[in-house]
Amino acid sequence: MRAIALPAMNPAIFQFPSSRAQALKRLADFAPGAGRDYAARRNYDLGPGDRSNVSGLSGAVRHRLVLEEELVRTAIATHGLRAAEKFVQEVCWRTYWKGWLEMRPAVWARYRRERDDALADLDTVPSLRRRYEAAIGGRTGIACFDAWAGELIDHGYLHNHARMWFASIWIYTLNLPWTLGADHFLRHLIDGDAASNTLSWRWVGGLHTRGKTYLARADNIAAFTGGRFDIDAGQLAASAPALCETGEEPACQPLQTAGRPDPSAPTLLLLHEEDLHQQSWPVDGLDVRGIASLDALGWRSPMPIGEQAQAFTRHAIADAAERAGAQHACPVTAIAASGSLAGTAAGCGASQIVTMRAMTGPLKDRLDAEREALAAAGIGLVELRHDWDVQFHPHARRGFFKLKEAIPGVLTALGIN
């Protein structure tokens, strides 16, 4: 198989920025390549030693060490919207997934139930356990899949194209439950979030866009890995029949509006892994008595969280806590997974907790578990929203194409283009 020739670009050893300062530097360094070079090269998986064709900022954006608006503004300022179009669209894909799931929380609840059932089956179906362990351990005999399985564990990252191939092989060649694959990704990816991860796996399996599936092909893998993997086509499934799901797709629910903090109430600011840029929160004028950071890693899965995902997330939270503490001259309290929000707020004399909206997923599950105790203690939980989400999420009711059409107008409304 002759691989497609790659457009020339100097390779660079890739590092994942897990602080805001590192992420801003990475953005500045990558900005010259965020235009037509990115459009030409973004789909190539060059391997873990060379990520020069992608920004490497997905982990930072997933935790909002840097904001989507900052990436898009930088790309457009450097190249103009037309040349930076593909980069802008890729940033907006994560926004689309989040908005879509936010309006359909029942899809997340269903995933959790089916995942838990599949995990239980591992204990009762020995053949499933053997196939699952071979897959996550990189012992399937399919060279590309096994390499990606090891890369995921070692680096906490896979190229987006590799994620699609991996999911397709998992579902159609290895005949494993998609929810187990989605769980494995969510536990190990440094940029894994509930919406992007769950809905991408559903899309590969023909559940997100009903009947539309993704089939991993040997020639496509060879071409877009620069010839690194030239596998026998007979090792892969020849077809990708859509998975079945009973019942109709849940109807859209209204998007939650932003809460309004009481400026006279003693306030605890709550940092969490979904939004670590507290400096952009509209909290000027609040009576800030303390800051807390919440560890919700364990809520991603009943299974252990990968070392890379843990280390990245906790370093990012620590970076945000240091910045927020310096800004408000307040101590920062770390709340463990089993810690009490109400107790932390009461400890600093706060009657309201102000945070950024936790969207549908594990963090929201964590906060929802405490709402009754907060209400009983008379402590309000006020969830803010970024203008980026407020403007884009209403366009995520259907497929990505509708949101893509809206990008120029939304960017204008946000004052970006």
- In this predicted structure, the answer to whether residue 14 has a pLDDT above a threshold of 70 is no
In one letter, which amino acid is 323? R
Whole-number Å distance between alpha carbons of 187 and 197? 10
Residue 243 CA to residue 223 CA, distance in Å, equals 27
Within a 13 Å sphere around the CA of 274, how many CA atoms are in the beta-carbon half? 28
Q: Which of 152-166, 239-253, 333-347 has the highest mean pLDDT?
A: 152-166
Distance CA 252, CA 105 (A): 9
Q: What is the mean pLDDT of residues 101-125?
A: 97
Task: Output the pLDDT for position 249.
Answer: 78
Give the mean pLDDT of the chain.
94
pLDDT band of residue 22 (cuts 50, 70, 90) is very high
Q: Residue 161: its pLDDT value, please? A: 97
Measured over the CA atoms of residue 165, residue 171, residue 176 and residue 179, the dihedral's sign is positive
Contact present, 352 and 261 (Cβ < 8 Å):
yes
In the predicted model, what is the mean pLDDT of residues 315-338?
92
The answer to whether domain 107-235 and domain 266-385 are alike in fold is no
pTM: 0.95
Structure tokens given for 360? 């549908």
Q: What's the CATH number for 266-385?
A: 3.40.50.620
Query: What pLDDT is attached to residue 11?
Result: 41
Rounded to whole angstroms, the Cα distance separating 384 from 357 reads 5
pLDDT of 4 above 80: no
Which 8-state DSSP code applies to residue 270? E
Distinct helix (H) and strand (E) counts, the chain: 18, 5
Residue found by looking up tokens 């235009």 in the block: 35
176-182-188-193 Cα dihedral, nearest 10 degrees: 170
* Residue 55 clears pLDDT 90, i.e. is over it: yes
HSE at residue 7, side-chain half, CA atoms within 13 A, is: 12
Residue 242: the pLDDT is 96
User: 6 pLDDT band (50/70/90 cuts)?
Assistant: very low
Q: Spell out a b/e string for 76-101, using b for 16 or more CB atoms within 10 Å of the CB, else e.
A: bebbeeebbbbbbbbbbebbbbbbbb
* Residue extents of the structural domains in the chain: 20-102+392-413, 107-235, 266-385
Condensed to tens digits (0 to 9), the pLDDT of residues 361-400 reads: 999 999 999 999 999 999 999 999 999 999 999 999 999 9
Summarize pLDDT for 191-228 with one digit per residue, the tens: 999 999 999 999 999 999 988 999 999 999 999 999 99
Q: Which residues of 342-372 are buried (b: 16+ CB within 10 A; e: fewer)?
A: bebbeebebbbbbbbbbbbbbbbbbbeebee
**pLDDT greater than 70 at residue 104:** yes
Q: What is the DSSP string of 65-97?
A: SS-HHHHHHHHHHHH-TTTTHHHHHHHHHHHHH
Output 211 or 160, whichever has higher pLDDT: 160
* β-sheet bridge partners, residue 65: none
For residue 293 the two structure tokens come to 């950071």
User: What's the gap between Cα 52 and its chain centre?
Assistant: 21
According to the model, what pLDDT value does residue 248 have? 77
Topology at the third CATH level for domain 107-235: DNA Cyclobutane Dipyrimidine Photolyase, subunit A; domain 3 (1.10.579)
10 Å CB burial of residue 324 (0-12, 13-18, 19+) is buried
Report the C-alpha gap between 366 and 24 in whole angstroms: 30
pLDDT bin (cut points 50, 70, 90) of residue 13 is very low
Question: Averaged over 65-73, what is the pLDDT?
Answer: 98
State how far the Cα of 242 lies from the Cα of 385, in Å rounded to an integer. Answer: 36
What percentage of residues in the chain have a pLDDT greater than 90? 92
Cα→Cα distances 75→31, 62, 84, 200, 207, Å: 6, 18, 6, 25, 33
Q: What is the pLDDT of residue 187?
A: 98
9 pLDDT tier (thresholds 50, 70, 90): very low
Residue 134 CB: number of other CB atoms within 10 A? 16
Report the percentage of the chain scoring pLDDT > 70: 97
Residue 325: its H or E element: helix 307-328
Report yes or no: 285 and 263 within 8 Å, Cβ to Cβ.
Answer: yes
Q: Is the pLDDT of residue 289 over 70?
A: yes
Q: Average pLDDT for residues 265-286, to the nearest whole number?
A: 96
Backbone angles phi, psi at 269, to 5 degrees: -85, 130
267: part of which helix (H) or strand (E)?
A: strand 266-271
Across 219-243, average pLDDT? 95
Per-residue pLDDT band at 336 (split at 50, 70, 90): confident
* 356, β-bridge pairs: 384
Closest CA to 226 of 304, 172, 161: 161
